[in-house]
Structure 1
Amino acid sequence: MKNVRAAMERNNKQQQNNWNYKNNEERRYTAKQQHETDGVQQQQQQQQQQQQQQQQQQQQQQQQQQQHQQRQQQHQQQHHQQHQQQQQKQQRHQQQQKHQQQQQQQQQQRQRISSIIRISII
């Protein structure tokens, strides 16, 4: 009887050890998988951060290009305005010259008319 009881206790202990071993193995396997999953997630997060940084850099480059284009456009507009102002000055100057010519012609005509009138009076 004692032998049977001792055999049963040994059997129970063996089963308990097996169960503990199996449990520990499962825990180790789960921990290893979790560790690998964590590693993959970290890599993915790093890749996402790198992609975000690249996108930010691209946006900054686009903004810089837009600012450069805006400066070029402003410069071209200023140049165009200066050119228009120069043309307007030239036009005003020409108009003044025409006006002066007309006044001179009118004065010459008056002088002719007055000289003709004098001659005819004399």
Structure 2
Amino acid sequence: MLTAIDHVQMAAPSGSEPQLREFYCGVLGMREAPKPPVLAVRGGCWFEAGGVRLHLGIEEDFRPARKAHPGLRVRGISAFAERLAARGVTVTWDEGLPGHRRFYSRDPVGNRLEFLEPLA
């Protein structure tokens, strides 16, 4: 029986860890989680915030995920979108999901991210 999603794995190009740290920690407000030494040698970064866990692993033939994406639930989505836009991150609103406010964005290596908040 499945009980939860432990983490979402996304890909990133070699050498992008500084950009990823700046975005996921500095812009999104997540914290970097330590990787076990046996996995740390592979590069990449792990990030956490609340119950959200994103793992970005290095992929030699990297191509950004332009359709596949994590859906990240946000509280105070308007203020969150303003925060991202103020940091130079493109925010694209989409009103196509009934009962939610949502927007899409991209991380610094081009991976698609969805941010959503259920309407009260």
TM range (shorter): under 0.3
Higher percent of residues as strand? 2
TM-score (norm 2): 0.12
Higher RCO (CA 8 Å, separation ≥ 6 residues): 2
Q: Normalising by the residue count of structure 1, what TM-score does the alignment of the two structures yield?
A: 0.12
Which one has the bigger helix percentage?
Answer: 1
Bigger radius of gyration, 1 or 2? Answer: 1
